[in-house]
Amino acid sequence: MPAGHFISLEGIDGAGKSSHLEALAAALRASGRSVVVTREPGGTPLAEHLRKLALGEPMDALTEALLMFAARRDHLIHVIEPALARGDVVLCDRFTDATFAYQGGGRGFDRNVLGQLEAWVQAVPALAAGRLRQPDLTLWFDLAPAIAAARLAGARAPDKFESQSVAFFERVVQGYADRAQRDPGRFVRIDAEQAREAVLQDALAAVRNRGWVA
């Protein structure tokens, strides 16, 4: 049985990452891999409930972070861990880097508290004590907030985060940059300002470089 791989896709709203999920999944499946495509917050019935609350209701940053991590715990236990144990590839639209970027960067919430929640939530039975479940690879679709805002304008009605200011998204980008700097082996930055096909090719190359797709 092949080893499971956990790939997360990150970036600000409007960076275009979600539109590449299915193409990445198809390439992996064509290489003979079983793929689970999922998202955060969400991915289980309970986590999808929590998503509606977190994206729909006003709340303070700690409440928001707690809901994100509660959804994440349910998703990890019921979807991500079983998939990795089967040897599947998990393609996850956002994971904990989004909490550091949005709640930590965007909202300015205490990253030490987020780190504590991360340590509790991502300690899973399959890993030795002290180790945390993290993506094996994070594709960070990086785009200037002003360009992302222009792309989002006129799309469907924005949710609570999509309607934030460009300044908020500048802090989110900085949050991603900080996480990438702390974990350069896991992050691959993709220039999302390129044409759509070039962005997809860069994402595929990152997965191919790991030897996970032919």
Q: Which residues are near ligand TMP by CB under 6 A?
A: 13, 39-41, 55, 68, 93-94, 98-99, 102-103, 161
Beta carbon nearer to ligand TMP, 67 or 206 = 67
Running DSSP on this structure, what letter comes out for residue 127? S
What are 112's strand-pairing partners? none
Beta carbon nearer to ligand TMP, 98 or 213 = 98
Beta carbon nearer to ligand TMP, 93 or 202 = 93
SS3 per-residue string spanning 37-102: EEECCCCCHHHHHHHHHHHHCCCCHHHHHHHHHHHHHHHHHHHHHHHHHHCCEEEEECCHHHHHHH
Beta carbon nearer to ligand TMP, 35 or 96 = 96
CB of 2 to ligand TMP, least distance (A): 27
CB of 18 to ligand TMP, least distance (A): 6
CB of 107 to ligand TMP, least distance (A): 8
Q: Is the bond into 41 cis (omega within 30 degrees of 0)?
A: yes
CB of 72 to ligand TMP, least distance (A): 7
SS3 per-residue string spanning 146-171: HHHHHHHCCCCCCCCCCCCCHHHHHH
Helices 61-75 and 111-121, axial angle in degrees (round to 10): 20
How many CB atoms are closer than 10 A to CB 205? Answer: 12
Cβ(13)–Cβ(152) below 8 Å: yes
CB of 85 to ligand TMP, least distance (A): 23
Beta carbon nearer to ligand TMP, 67 or 213 = 67
Structure tokens at 18: 């979600």
Beta carbon nearer to ligand TMP, 168 or 204 = 168
CB of 75 to ligand TMP, least distance (A): 10
